[in-house]
Amino acid sequence: MADKTIMLVCAAGMSTSLLVSKMQKSAEAKGIDADIFAVSASEADANLANKDVNVLLLGPQVRFMKSQFEKKVADKNIPVDIINMQDYGMMNGEKVLDHALTLM
Amino acid sequence: MSNRKDLVLEYLQQNPDESFSARVLAEALELDRTNVSRYLNELYTDNKVHKITGRPVLFQFKTPRTKKEDGESKAFSKIIGHSLSLKVMVQQAKAAILYPPRGLHTIIFGQTGTGKSVFARSMYEFALESKAMSQDAPFISFNCADYAQNPQLLFGHIFGVKKGSYTGATEDTPGLLKKADGGILFLDEIHRLPPEGQEMLFTFIDKGVYQPLGESGKEYEASVQIIGATTENSDVLLSTFNRRIPMSITLPPLSERTIDERYQLVASFLQQEAHRLNQEIVAERDVILAFVLYHPEANIGQVERDLKLVCAKAFLHYRTNDEDRLNISQKDLPLQVQKGLLLKKEAPDRLNRIIKSQQKRFVFEPKHQNPDYFLGSGEDMSVYNAIEERVDELIKSGAQKIDLETFVQNGMGHYFSDYIEQLASREVRKELISSDILDVTEMVYDIAEKRLNRTFNNSTRFAFSLHLQSTLDRIRENRPIIHPNLNGVRKQYSKEFQVAIELSALIEEKFDIEIPLDEIGFITMFLTIDLTEKSEELQEKVGVFVMMHGKSTASSMLETVQELLDTKVGTALDMPLTTKVKEMYEWVRITIRDRIKDYAQGILLLTDMGSLNSFGDILAEELDVPIKTLSMTSTPIVLEAVRMASLGRSLEDIYESCQRGMNNNIQQTFTIKKDKSPAIVVTCFTGEGVAKKLEEKLETEIDTTVTKIIPLQYLQREKFRQRIDQLTEEYDLKAIVGTVALDYSSVPYYSALDIFEGDKLNDLKRHLESEFPIEEMAHSLEGTIKSVGSVQELMELVRDVVNKLLVNTQLQIDAGVKVGVILHLAFLIDSLKTNAFLRPFPNKEIFIKQNRILMDTTKTTCIPLERRYAIQFPEDEIAYLVYMLTENKNH
């Protein structure tokens, strides 16, 4: 089990998967033991149940789901946020990772 | 920009005799005042307008100095049409006056109300002006119909009476002819002159001599120019008069006057009324149109009477409803005048140039330079005085309740529900409301809940605390407040009213102030608010009528909608191009009349264009049914109307919702290019209290060098909306922030609470973000999407499609969401190309059915991508896309 589990959610889990690989690279470089993965919105619930997720990040295109997720994880104390547009557009793994870490 | 400037110049040019302030022009043309003011000053610099300094500064069209027409007379220039339809007549009249040595006797023919008396009077003025007569020359006017029953008396009145000519004639009495010596005698309805009188008149005309009644030997002389007038046009009469009176002038009936003249007639009359009442008059476009087009039986005279009636009605509204000016709307017009609107289609093109379609309202301001208009017969103020007295009486007796009650229902109801709905339910920051007020609010509501045995939610409480704050300020500053229907509230909600009294006592004690009774009325209203009961279902449904030109346009549009919604609600009436407007009107009228009982909740008319648009108000009056009309209807509007009607929503509700949809549509279609600078409107009732605080807060949060903050007072919904309309011309409005929600189609609203709580503020900030450069996105993806060739090309294509999608679906999303959607689509294309990617959309069938139109639009818009990359978007993916867009849309 990794120290930190970061779950990214987007519509189909496709666009975020590229971001995930960039975040993983950045984590390795920094020597952070992090489990970072991307799922589609429909798979999110199952993953939340099975995994001990520490941070939940949403792609900007599913921003409308933020309050839904906040409710779902209210009792687990998992921070939920939306990935910054700039970082998302630029696929800036490092910045998104940094942001995720500050949320924990 | 320059277009609008031309518009201003054109408007001034069309009213060359009047001067305008920037404000009046701005209102008339629905432009921003500051802009208009700028245009005017530019026009002044260009030497195209006169500037009349004063407060306010007035501008007037500068007539280019061309060769001045010889003999341009002031006397006739007041007559509308003096250089158009009446040009020949004016020339005749001038000739008649100037003909040496003493002018020609003249007869004026013309139907009732064509302006014969005014014309005769102008001839007299011209005689003075041209020095054809001395400055003290008399003008005697007499209507021969006055003594028509007594020929002898009539004769005597005109020619004088010799002492002893009949019993009672105890002395010599001079006649009108004598009184008019050296001037003009105007004999109206000259055909009513008895035969003896006519004979004597002709003798005078031929020889210049006459004999008074009872005089047998002596002949009298007088130097009088006779002007006769008659409505009669029998051949016998005409030939008699024509033979004996050298000059005959025929004034044309109103139907033969040009459209320009008709407009001027209406405009100058309203101008004159505005002046007489010293009060601005504002008329809707349709009012002016109706007056310009209808067929009054009694010509100008009737136009004048009808206009007077309408002004009197407007004056009544103005007095009873305490409006700040006289507003004339279509529904105030007599039915006969309204029917003028049915003739819109047959009206000459010229009409559209005089009465521009973009000019929604016509403003007539009282002028302080002596106006000297053609329609000069109205010194009579008795109508207005009567209204004034009546209203005073009513107010004293308290009997005005009925009107005010409707006001409360329509006006105040909205005010309250909107006020509250938009205030979120969280605790408010101390910056806005001081803790003692919050404490008192809690206390007040705790008591209210117990007494009334009902619960109030947080947003109601918050709204009340805001209200309480402003109430305290108001009371401390001694500013009065008036509840328009205090008694009604007291009776209708006696229980709440009792509680409100108790609560007021508490508030009085806590803050050491005195709460006026009117304020208790407001508190009562806060206690009666129940958000859950907002959209009551109506038992009877609103009637939706689709009426369009063409053989089957309306019926097929309605059919589509009914099929989509699986309902039978709605009625379609096709108007083939061969159908005459009046036939169509009758058909519509009968259709509604036959089922009038079903339409107790009112009718919404959805029309496409032209005369159909004007049916509503006329039908409403004839059938006594509430009717609203929406023109330029399209399928989505019909869809929305039928949907809401079948849910049993109220007419007002449906109308507003459809109108919003329509504004959206138009805005999205026409204002895609944006080079306007972004701005945020901050607002509150005073424009300085909460708005000021919001401005201070926003200044720390956003870059004000990019986004401008505009404080604006919110007093009355419609006025505010108009201001916003104006602002959108100049700015790219990003948000309206304030205490009262305005549901403005394209501009999202944020409550004051939103701004002081972090989350929504971030929303707003995101909303302000500018577009993300697509090149950089493409660059960051280079090498990751391999199946498509140039990533740059893919990203640009996807971006174009997404932009188009937003326009076509009329949805608005934030820049950030857009980045996400673009990326999503790019990766989706990659996946579809590389593997048979498929994920099902849950409950697809239902979703598709509910979003049929959006689905179709989205599918079609994405076709270029499918072609370019030889792929096929699965229906599930289109559904996901629609879902993503609709869920993320801004308000």
* Domain residue spans of chain A: 4-103
Report residue B432's pLDDT band, with 50, 70 and 90 as the boundaries. Answer: low
Alpha carbons A101 and A4: distance in angstroms, whole number: 9
The answer to whether B829 touches A2, Cβ cutoff 8 Å, is: no
Environment class of residue B382 by beta-carbon count within 10 Å: exposed (0-12), middle (13-18) or buried (19+)?
Answer: exposed
Q: B880 phi and psi, to 5 degrees?
A: -60, -40
Cross-chain Cβ contact A90/B777 below 8 Å:
yes
DSSP state of A64: G
Q: Which residues, at least 6 apart from B370, have a Cβ–Cβ distance to it below 8 Å?
A: none
Q: Identify the CA nearest to B781 among candidates A18, A72, A64.
A: A18
Give the pLDDT confidence score for residue B226 in this predicted structure.
93
Alpha carbons B469 and B215: distance in angstroms, whole number: 90
Residue scoring higher pLDDT (B767 or B286): B286
Out of A10, A61, A84, the one facing B888 most closely (by C-beta) is A61
- Name the percent of chain B lying above pLDDT 90: 8
Report residue B685's pLDDT band, with 50, 70 and 90 as the boundaries. Answer: low
- CATH architecture of the domain formed by B670-768: 3-Layer(aba) Sandwich (3.40)
Residue that has been written with the tokens 């129940």 in this structure: B530
- CATH architecture of the domain formed by B2-61: Orthogonal Bundle (1.10)
Give the pLDDT confidence score for residue B529 in this predicted structure.
61
The active-site residue out of A7, A8, A10, A36 is: A10
Cross-chain Cβ contact A61/B777 below 8 Å:
no
Cross-chain Cβ contact A15/B780 below 8 Å:
no
A-B CB pairs within 8 A amount to: 82
Give the pLDDT confidence score for residue B600 in this predicted structure.
81
- Order of strands, sheet of B281-284, starting from the edge strand that comes earlier in the sequence: B326-328, B281-284, B361-364
Give the pLDDT confidence score for residue B535 in this predicted structure.
36
**Superfamily of domain covering B402-533:** PRD domain (1.10.1790.10)
Q: What's the residue count for chain B? A: 891
What is the residue extent of each domain of chain B?
2-61, 82-252, 258-375, 402-533, 543-649, 670-768, 774-888
B300: left (phi over 0), alpha (psi -120 to 50) or beta: alpha
The answer to whether B572 touches B554, Cβ cutoff 8 Å, is: yes
Cross-chain Cβ contact B888/A10 below 8 Å:
no
**Over 70: is that where the pLDDT of B517 sits?**
yes
Residue scoring higher pLDDT (B716 or A42): A42
Environment class of residue B99 by beta-carbon count within 10 Å: exposed (0-12), middle (13-18) or buried (19+)?
Answer: middle
CATH number of this structure's domain B543-649, picked from the four choices 3.40.50.300, 3.40.50.2300, 2.40.50.140, 3.40.50.510 = 3.40.50.510
Q: Identify the CA nearest to B82 among candidates B10, B17, B13, B5.
A: B17
Q: Which residues, at least 6 apart from B295, have a Cβ–Cβ distance to it below 8 Å?
A: B255, B340
Contacts of B769 in chain A (CB under 8 A): 85
Do domains B82-252 and B670-768 share one topology? The answer is: yes
Residue scoring higher pLDDT (A13 or B287): B287
Q: Does domain B82-252 have CATH number 3.40.50.300?
A: yes
Asked if A30 has any chain B CB less than 8 Å from its own CB, the reply is no
Characterize B735-760 residue by residue with b for buried, 16 or more Cβ atoms within 10 angstroms of its Cβ, and e for exposed. Answer: bbbbbbbbbbbbbbbbbbbbbbbeeb
β partners of residue B362: B283
- CATH architecture of the domain formed by A4-103: 3-Layer(aba) Sandwich (3.40)
Give the pLDDT confidence score for residue B297 in this predicted structure.
82
DSSP state of B847: H
Enter the tokens of residue B759: 């989350």
Give the pLDDT confidence score for residue B859 in this predicted structure.
87
The answer to whether B352 touches B259, Cβ cutoff 8 Å, is: no
**Over 50: is that where the pLDDT of B429 sits?**
no
Lowest mean pLDDT among B570-574, B660-664, B676-680: B660-664
Amino acid at B884: M
**Over 90: is that where the pLDDT of B706 sits?**
no
Q: DSSP 3-state helix, strand, coil percentages of chain A (rounded to 5)?
A: 55, 20, 25
Alpha carbons B243 and B239: distance in angstroms, whole number: 6
In chain A, residues 55-94 whose CB comes closer than 8 Å to chain B: 59-65, 82, 84-86, 88-92
A10 counts as catalytic: yes
Cross-chain Cβ contact B831/A14 below 8 Å:
yes
Q: How high does pLDDT run on average in chain B? A: 78
Query: Which of B824, B838, B889 to mutate to probe the A interface, most A CBs <10 Å?
Result: B824
> Minimal Cα–Cα distance from B834 to chain A, Å?
13
The answer to whether A42 touches A66, Cβ cutoff 8 Å, is: no
